């Protein structure tokens, strides 16, 4: 790894990033403090990476993609434009975000498609969400905050906040709390986290964390 340094306001060196020599990073990309980029990762033009995020080996991040702070993006993940990833998100090994609803290599006359021949759509991943290894997220969709997508899932529709989804196509099988543990029902609309003992209330189809008093 190569360390990149700069002067801060007090004229002393602070570490900004650690970047593997084999990583390919566009000069127009913006990397926050404490970012790590591992071997053979590629960050395209105008990518933005928040503070302390880790980009694993062989990760591809497409042009203009925004990644928040304190995220972990594991080996071989493919995040195509126009994805947006908020703070604290986990993206497991081999996860793919698509960006084309009707993919074709050519037009009806067999001429090769160019960028203006298709409409780009993206995946939006909200704060604290986790996407398990090998999952495919079919854009355009939104993955709700603190939700969890089980490994190997194919996500074809929006995932609610705190939802636990699994399968092909992914279906909701329960709820999870911020710790990632599956919530236990107390009654028809009240749930509890076995780890933190925080409680959550289901209002309609929306789960809301109860404030601590």
126-136 per-position pLDDT tens digit: 999 999 999 99
Q: Dump pLDDT digits (tens) for 143-166.
A: 999 999 999 999 999 999 999 999
Q: Is the same domain home to 190 and 162?
A: no
pLDDT at 115: 84
pLDDT at 97 over 60: yes
pLDDT at 155: 98
pLDDT at 117: 86
Selection from 35, 130, 18 nearest residue 85 by Cα: 130
Q: How far apart are CA 27 and CA 195, in angstroms?
A: 43
**Alpha-helical runs (H) found in 25-164:** none
Q: Is the same domain home to 142 and 185?
A: no
Q: How far apart are CA 183 and CA 172, in angstroms?
A: 13
pLDDT at 167 over 90: yes
- pTM > 0.85: yes or no: yes
Q: Is the same domain home to 20 and 85?
A: yes
Q: Is the same domain home to 152 and 206?
A: no
Question: Are 43 and 61 a contacting pair, CB within 8 Å?
Answer: yes
Q: What is the mean pLDDT of residues 80-93?
A: 98
Q: Residue 147: give the domain boundaries.
A: 2-176
Give the count of domains, the chain: 2
């Amino acid at each position: 790894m190569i360390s990149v340094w700069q002067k801060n306001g007090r004229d002393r060196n602070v570490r900004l990033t650690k970047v593997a020599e084999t990583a390919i990073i566009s000069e127009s990309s913006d990397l926050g403090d404490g970012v790590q980029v591992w071997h053979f990762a590629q960050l395209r033009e105008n990518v933005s990476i928040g503070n302390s995020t880790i980009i694993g080996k062989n990760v591809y991040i497409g042009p203009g993609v925004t990644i928040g702070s304190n995220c972990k993006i594991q080996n071989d993940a493919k995040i195509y434009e126009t994805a947006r990833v908020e703070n604290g998100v986990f993206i497991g090994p081999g996860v793919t975000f698509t960006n084309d609803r009707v993919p074709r290599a050519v037009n009806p006359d067999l001429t090769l498609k160019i960028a203006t021949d298709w409409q780009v759509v993206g995946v939006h991943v909200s704060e604290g969400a986790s996407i398990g290894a090998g999952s495919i997220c079919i854009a355009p969709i939104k993955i709700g905050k603190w939700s969890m997508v089980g490994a190997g899932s194919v996500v074809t529709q929006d995932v609610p906040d705190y939802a636990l989804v699994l399968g092909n196509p992914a279906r909701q099988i329960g709820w999870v709390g911020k710790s990632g543990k599956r919530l236990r029902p107390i009654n028809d609309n009240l749930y509890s986290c076995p780890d933190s003992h925080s409680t959550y209330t289901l209002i309609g189809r929306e789960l809301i964390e109860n404030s601590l008093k």
